[in-house]
Chain A
């Protein structure tokens, strides 16, 4: 495994203060060595509507930066992941585009050769680390916690670009959630979009899409929704805030990002993970958490 550069998403700094600290804490606890590349910029995703070439340029600059430092990229955001991988595919297939983009990058001493690999952080956990390697570091697991796993669009689709998991029957994220002892439950709208791309464009539709998802998860009996993508997290937080403001139960279901869920099992402080006391209450996380040592002791004593 080449050394990894952590590609952080632009939207976290203003709206998800603890996303970065939770990610850092979990990667540290799992012993995943990564570098921060200060020069990284936008992955290009939000520019796709406006100018595809500007999108590819923005993505390619990051790819070339990682290549220059002999790093592979690890993203914690689905949109960054899908965007960087699609840019790679376009640059691989379109020599004219590659020439144009490299012409623009050369002004800052960069050149994209196509040597860099882009991983989702989930891919790193599932495919590069082994389940055992994660398991042996767990200090606690959940007992009886039901989780609605939300992969998010760009982790799965288009599957010929991202190729992370089966686009219609994904299993990897579920397996990673199951490592924590939580149960990944089936739910009807699991593969649907969270609605975030329409936030600020068509808010009513964005809200409907997101609320339908949370309702579906709640009806399936989930204690919480688990996401990896910050856009999805922002969206679900927003739906929840709206529901709380209007006093409706529709849309009321806590969403946590995977690093928060896993972090508690690695013995990381809830505060550092950005999990509020209210969230610990509402999701039943605290109640479900069992120390591994105690569980093992209980098992031995019952066996004896």
Chain B
């Protein structure tokens, strides 16, 4: 009775959680500038899109993807055979257990009239499926905790899933094992199926079960004589054999039972099988209720993502459906880390302390961003930096076993987060090439330009203008991260040879192509070199020249005195950015709208 209540309770939580989570796909949008559509309208558009797909030749694409990518998990196999074996064990074993065992009343019993949970082949299949899941769990634990490749991050959600699976499976095995040896369980069965036997007959049956089925009886231990066993076997054939396979068929549980045989009597007295049943059942119910709030939700969303992306053309899809799809994709991520392992700039997390550089770590924060959950300025800044420290090489998308179009996601979120108005200094680097080249399609030129202006403004100290009015004390750099060689470029002695011939400035294509260059660019290359010698940092950081430098090395190549002009400009850019970051985000925990 109470277990039925628990089941319905778990199902109710599961259903409510799923509805809540799915509704977020229609309620939120990670993109700005897209025409706002009501959740109802987006839901309608999604239904229309689904219907249009199902009644079209694309249905065959869906079927193919379902078989190849969802059932057989081709994408995973292509990336990592280890993970494929691990996941096939987990998912294959789990599906068998779910359909054949957990839902046996609904499915197995209806399909097979001879179904008995204690008869073969069901005993064997159940045990084998359980073992598969255990193998998968062990492989997952090894991958996550013992042989973790660099940049694979394991969070609470990953551990929780592994723990839930382990508890469900291990309690299942121990339950089965304790039932094999349990005398109480044996007597329960006798009470139902062996009512016609007299006491002597029951003794021979019990002897047979102790000998052959490994029941541990308080009344008798083997060895038994042949006549007793033969008599017991006849009774067994009459009352039990039809629906009871030998325990050896549940080979894993049987091994556990044999290992624990010494404690069987004592445990049986403590009602251990019943306790284990409750542990197993509660763990299952807890797992069921927890599905929509955990990465287990990917059971549903990952196939959905794979199939949607196979048939959805981003050129022709409606903006409403794109918004919904991208929200759904955020939920399809199971944090497997494949993207972060493939990420071409992932290695930089060792030097730049920002976990959001790794694609897998961005997803939960983006979900928060889309849901308008409050984020501090620091969090927004770090996420923004992580999003922009990206070469758009598309490898994360190619690696994602869920088929999530990650690169598209990053492009969309980058623009959204920039609109919060915090400066992003990586915009002032060649990483902007995709933004620049794509910009001509962007009608909203203000959205395009204002983040650039914000970054340029924040990078400058205003020193040049201020100094022109009132002389100020000079700033000497303190703790900027500069390695030896770069520091040597910056030493005043490095400029001892410079006689201000202006060759660097004359060779500079930027200076040549900028009208009114002294006004627009601030200090010109030769002046910047001289300012370094004089340690006039504020003047330098206020010069647009730094950010308009193309890094073509004409200045450095042509310098008659071998001053490392272009490389010094790079060091100065690094310093300008690290100072500006310190200035803008120093311990800033304020919320950002």
Contact = CB atoms under 8 A, between A and B. Distances in A.
A13 B425 CA distance: 24
B513 A201 contact: no
A209 B392 CA distance: 24
Contact of B513 (A97, A157, A205): A205
A96 B393 contact: no
Contact of A245 (B391, B393, B440): B440
Interface stretch (B89-97, B290-298, B479-487): B479-487
Interface stretch (B119-127, B242-250, B547-555): B547-555
Interface residues of A, number: 63
B550 A193 contact: yes
A52 B350 contact: no
A205 B548 contact: yes
**Most interface-central of A49, A90, A153 (chain B CB within 10 A):** A49
A32 interface: no
B143 to A, nearest CB: 15
Nearest to B394: A13
A196 B514 contact: no
Nearest to A61: B347
B348 A93 contact: no
Given A54-B352, A203-B439, A242-B440, A157 B428 contact: no
Nearest to B483: A97
Contacts of A97: 483-485
A197 B150 contact: no
Contacts of A205: 510, 513-514, 548
A58 B393 CA distance: 14
B483 A94 contact: yes
Interface stretch (B42-50, B158-166, B230-238, B429-437): B429-437
Contact-residue bracket for chain B: 35 or more
B550 A52 contact: no
B344 interface: yes
**Most interface-central of A45, A156, A159, A201 (chain B CB within 10 A):** A201
Contact of B574 (A14, A15, A51): A51
B303 to A, nearest CB: 26
B277 interface: no
A188 interface: no
Contacts of B352: 51, 54
Interface stretch (B212-220, B360-368, B531-539, B565-573): B565-573
Contacts of A114: none
Contacts of B548: 198, 201-202, 205
B197 to A, nearest CB: 68
Interface string A84-97: 00000010011011
A42 interface: yes
A158 interface: yes
Nearest to B557: A157
Contacts of A10: 344, 391-393
A198 B508 CA distance: 14
Contacts of B392: 10-11, 14
B439 A200 contact: yes
B345 A41 contact: yes
A299 interface: no
Contacts of A209: 509-510, 513, 550
Interface string B473-508: 000000001111110000000000000000000000
A203 B435 CA distance: 10
Interface in A142-166: 153-154, 156-159
Interface stretch (A100-108, A172-180, A256-264): A100-108
A196 B430 contact: yes
Interface string B508-523: 0110011000000000
Contact of B351 (A51, A90, A154): A51
Given A153-B552, A193-B552, A198-B550, A107 B435 contact: no
A49 B393 CA distance: 19
A200 B344 contact: no
A214 interface: no
Interface of B: 149-150, 343-348, 350-352, 389, 391-395, 407, 425-437, 439-440, 452, 481-486, 509-510, 513-514, 547-548, 550-554, 556-557, 566, 570-571, 573-574, 577-578
Given A40-B344, A208-B513, A245-B440, 8 more contacts: A48-B429, A53-B483, A54-B351, A54-B352, A58-B348, A108-B150, A196-B430, A201-B547
Interface of A: 10-11, 13-15, 40-42, 45-54, 56-58, 61, 79, 90, 93-94, 96-97, 100, 104, 107-108, 153-154, 156-159, 167-168, 191-193, 195-203, 205-206, 208-209, 212, 231, 234, 238, 241-242, 245
- The 10 nearest A-B residue pairs measured at CB: A200-B432, A200-B436, A199-B436, A10-B393, A157-B553, A10-B391, A193-B552, A41-B344, A49-B429, A108-B150
